[in-house]
A and B are shown apart, each in its own frame.
Chain A
Amino acid sequence: MSPFRCTIAQAIRDQVLQPAIVGKPDDLFLACASFEPRSVKAAECLPPTYRARQAIIYANSECLEGCQGVGTRPHLYQLITILARHADRVDVVEGSLFDAPKQLETLRKALLTDWQPQDQQPTVTIDTTTFNRESLLIASALLRSFEPKPTVRAVYVSPADHGSWLSRGFRSVRNVVGFSGVQDPSQPTVLAVLAGFEPDRVLKVIDEHEPKKVLMGIGDPPTTERFLARNIAEQELVLSRQDVEEFRFATADIHECYTQLRCLVEPCLRESNVVLAPMSTKLSTLAVLLLVEEFPQIQVTYCVPGEYNVRDYSSGADTLFIDGLPP
């Protein structure tokens, strides 16, 4: 499918979020509850006619505790209420941001054991908006392990704005579970970063991987025009380093982003171990998934943040993006 975008108001007015195949309910609607208000926006855009056989709401246990919980729980209850109107069954599953095995196990149980698609060619809609990138990659990879592959449609709501900072500190840098890749021990490392607004996280990943070369991606076109300037400004320090080469990638077009990454990374694979660090939009993160499906030797790395800016991570909901993963 071709990427589609519209304002939230348009999405509601024109009832754009119909099931992936018109007239047939989706087999699964997958969403993630978070402290960000936009985590409920895609669900709010569902027209009364939208149906899914099952809805699964994923939440990280850390986001349900303490001050994160104060923000997340109301959104979780809101999602349950909204999705109960559209789905035959709504399940809430609790994973973990910090505990990789728990995150994997939760998603495996929810998607490979408990979810029983009734259709030969199941259709899935993922509201990717507030998934953490690690769980989004794992969930999407698990869904694509079905034969034949389900039709997966990704929905993303960009915010009107982001706070002055998004996250602070780090707990660890690790490969996304299932995405450690295969390395030739005698080859140097090339790190390709899809950068967002968190330069410290980029520097931390560079520091941990000690790559010979860094390919630094700036999201262009961005989801919102003014985000490009901020992206460049935030990453200025990294971009000024001698061992860094800049490239541009599409933030809201999975296939376009995948093609750009492929052109960039494929020549490096012959003489280096490639590590990818998706730190931009969720749609560009799905482009990374497609690339790793093609080149499983690539490692995908993830920097677990110390804390999120729970009060002011993002505000408003600007645009609804819909894009599909190829079969």
Chain B
Amino acid sequence: MTDMNTLATPGLLPGNPFVVESPEKLPPEQLVGLFIEQYTQIETVRQRRHTFIWGSRGSGKSMMLRYLEPQCQGIVHGGIEKVFSTSEPFLGVYCPCKEGQLNKTEFETLDESATAILSEHLLNITIADRLIVCLRDQFAAGVIGVCELTAFAKKVIMLFEPASIAASGRGATESNDIAVDPLGWLHRLFSLENLKIGGFLRWRCLGRGETQYEGATSGYHDFLLPFMQLVGDLPVIRGASVYVLLDDADRLNRVQQRIVNSWVANRDNQWLCVKVSAQREKYDTLLTLRGGLIEQPHDYSEVNVEELYTQSKSDYANKVRLIAERRLTLSPLPEKNIDQFLPVNDTERQRFDDIKKETAEEWHKAGEPGRQGDYVTRYATARLFQELKRKKQRKSYAGFQNLVHLSSGIVRDFLEPCYLMVDACVKKGAKLGELRAVPPSVQDEVCYRYSEEFLDVKLQDIRKDLPPENWSQLDALRTLIESLGRLFYERLHDPSAREARVFSFTVRESLSSNLEEILRLGVQHRYFQRRTYSTKEGGGRQPWYILNRRLCPVFKLDPTGFEGRIQLSSDHLELACSDPPRFVRMRLGVVEDDENRPLFPSDPGEEKE
């Protein structure tokens, strides 16, 4: 494999190096230059197996898929032939599911059986067409000879029922000579089939009288699989499996998702692997057309691109460091070390060093509970927050490590604030070629604004995406976040709190459907990360919700870690969704007057991590 450093040509990012562009708009050289293989689980995706890649928008799914296209792999391996000389070669065909192209509303007017037949044909010819265009545009002319391609095209048309494909075949011949331009001929053939589907759907909805579909149909065993086998037989490709890189598959309708699942269930990985990328909560079903359930690991592998942060913070930080430093290397900025480029607030760092010493002393006075190092880790940060509050000073979130934590596992949430920081420096008169570091004050300014936006602007945007009948749930989510933020703030700033840096909660009983929906909404939009936690009493695992660290600046919380978790009952959550001050008073055990007697007088129910 080519040394990635040789790809890092300066000047590939002439402007702000932290710009976030749609991967579809990036030329292959830039895409390869920017993509970091480490910590992406790309090895799992590369395996000759069907794979589901789950992740929210901006988590890097499309970037990974496009990186697997031959035009990028050719750059990585130093030539297209070398791509197919590796131990497990593959031909990646990028197939984005664009709005309205596959999930046509007209399908809703057909019965399920007709939808399945036409949808499968549409999916097949779309994938086949993308593959043909890939062979035409991403392989140098002559790499595969015209004679071989002509023979290939003639075999492809034989896969269809002759009478049903005859008209499209004639149409393709009218515009392209199969012996001269076989790929152009196939492209035309598939375009004509596409036209027939479109024409049928349109006429069926808007035309008068009966209409009959006059195109071909194709399925998995009679077309898609043998088509991939024919591709695998082409010279150069030499038996490589075709990886269909199906991006944004949550845009497919339910029947189309079941078709894809049926392909996955077939496990014909020698010739065809489907790499499905989607937002998990929007991919409606894992059922096949026949009603079977595809399962991991039997049928497919799974990659969750956002899990890394909750599994290993250091791996995530390393991943972000590699991405950030690659961008600095490709840019005209003189500083290539991200720690130097994003320095911490030096005054606060010095004070924190002193506080650590004081906390070590405090450990002696407290009767030396546990180990001294653990005590310092647990309390020093909290003491810093408490002192800043006393002195009415704002906490600084500057510094690379802090920004990594604030991004909470989403690389885009690291890159975007960095982009804004560089932009702010340029607006203040700095020249890109001379910008050695972003001052901590600028970093803080952006961090606080970015955090506030997450709480206000983002929620307003989410509201726009919801029907009005769900707005009360969104309001409840906002209130719940407010309640938790306030509670965690009080805990962090209370010198007597034992678990000051608590940042998450578990749910100890079943919840109403309304509360479940509120929490689901919170997870969907990344206000919480959901994991499960093994209960101390045994009896299974409880849902565990961790607040997004992007919210730390707005609530003045510590982003560097969390200790323990609070346990909430259904009643607690109901209160947190409606009355933050009362929820906080109740959790802190503040005695209220008779008129405001606490609802739940006992058991704050805390657990240590």
Contacts and interface: CB of A to CB of B under 8 A. Distances in A.
Contacts of A142: 206
Given A169-B467, A209-B98, A306-B464, A182 B195 contact: yes
A261 B466 CA distance: 32
Nearest to A144: B206
B43 interface: no
Contacts of B465: 169-170, 204
B514 to A, nearest CB: 19
Interface string A172-192: 011111111111111011000
Given A100-B108, A182-B195, A183-B98, A168 B206 contact: no
Most chain A beta-carbon contacts within 10 A, residue among B25, B100, B464: B100
A154 interface: no
Contact of B95 (A185, A188, A273, A297): A185
A151 B309 CA distance: 64
Contacts of B464: 168-170, 200, 204, 306
Contact of A296 (B133, B202, B463): B202
A188 B202 CA distance: 22
B98 A146 contact: no
Contact of B198 (A105, A182, A188): A182
Contacts of B205: 104, 108, 138, 177-178
Nearest to A188: B24
Contacts of B105: 100, 174-177, 180
Chain A interface mostly helix, strand, loop or mixed? mixed
A176 B198 CA distance: 13
Contacts, number: 114
A306 B468 contact: yes
Contact of A189 (B98, B108, B195, B197): B98
A182 B194 contact: yes
Interface residues on B, range: 35 or more
Nearest to A209: B99
Contacts of B208: 112, 145-146
A180 B471 CA distance: 31
Contacts of A109: none
A168 B468 contact: yes
Contacts of B109: 100-101, 104-105, 177
Interface string A81-119: 000000000000000000011001100100010000000
A171 B207 CA distance: 28
Interface string B124-140: 00100110010001000
A101 B108 contact: yes
A15 B24 CA distance: 57
A202 B194 CA distance: 28
Nearest to A183: B101
A181 B342 CA distance: 49
Contacts of A138: 205-206
A299 B108 contact: no
B24 A210 contact: yes
A285 B206 CA distance: 17
B201 interface: yes
A108 to B, nearest CB: 8
Nearest to B130: A185
A185 B129 contact: yes
A73 B478 CA distance: 36
B126 A185 contact: yes
Nearest to A212: B25
Contacts of A175: 100, 104-106
A207 to B, nearest CB: 9
A58 B410 CA distance: 48
Interface in B186-225: 191, 194-195, 197-199, 201-202, 205-208
A141 interface: yes
16 contacts: A112-B208, A168-B463, A169-B463, A169-B464, A169-B468, A174-B100, A175-B106, A180-B198, A181-B198, A185-B129, A204-B464, A209-B98, A209-B100, A210-B24, A306-B466, A307-B468
